[in-house]
Structure 1
Amino acid sequence: MSIEMCIEAEDVLRFEALVLAFNKTGVHDFEEEEYGFSGLFPISGMAFYVFQKEKCTVIPQLLAEGADKKFAWPVGTRIKFRYVNENFDECTSQLKAFISNLANVSNANFLLSFQYDTIYAVRDKGGLHKIADF
């Protein structure tokens, strides 16, 4: 069974900022998809899938458990990260670097959850906050 982490980002997140955050984390090759784009992190082999409202229907509400009680922003981008189990530590390290880079290159709000269940990090007007260890 594969671990899947999810980002739900505010609809003001720009494509250029997203690509820059991936580039700063070592990802330079992307595959255009009908829903957005996908790729792999080079060290861990962790796959990611970016769903953009410009290319597909993105539910504008936050889906993470309990998020609707704490946060309120229209979602425009969802990103799913699929871990490679045997590279768990590398996947976690690269995901942490990615969310830090994303928070640094964009003011867009976002949250990171485990399969829309447990929220692990939130980027809001106060910056990036890690809510739980992952």
Structure 2
Amino acid sequence: MKLKTYKYLKLLIVAFISISISLSINLNNFILAFSSIILGIFILKFLQAKVKDILIDERAKMIAGQAAVNTYMITTSVLGFTSFVLMFFGRRGSYFLESLGYVLSYLTIFIIFVYVVLFKYFSKKYGD
């Protein structure tokens, strides 16, 4: 299969998933949404294996890695700062803001934990 055909089929599958999710939300059937997402992922992986052209090169992988690391740093910094501000202003009487600050701080800690675990895993896998 050519890369152009793969991109066209990928667009059709994304449209199928979007329509399925919107339909399942209207019908209050979340199993349909979940199953359409899983089916779409499997079909995309199957089609990706059939592509003969090069899908991604080393430069694109490096760019994606840099984008992911910078996104992680910005997201955790903004979440951490926002949680601190919400907890600070929440102590002055708004318990909702304080609770939201705690939730955001736990989310930040969880994201950092996932990053550390994945970093250790890939370091062992690729021999760093």
Q: Which range, TM-score by smaller chain?
A: under 0.3
TM-score by length of structure 2 reads 0.26
Higher gyration radius (CA): 2
TM-score by length of structure 1 reads 0.25
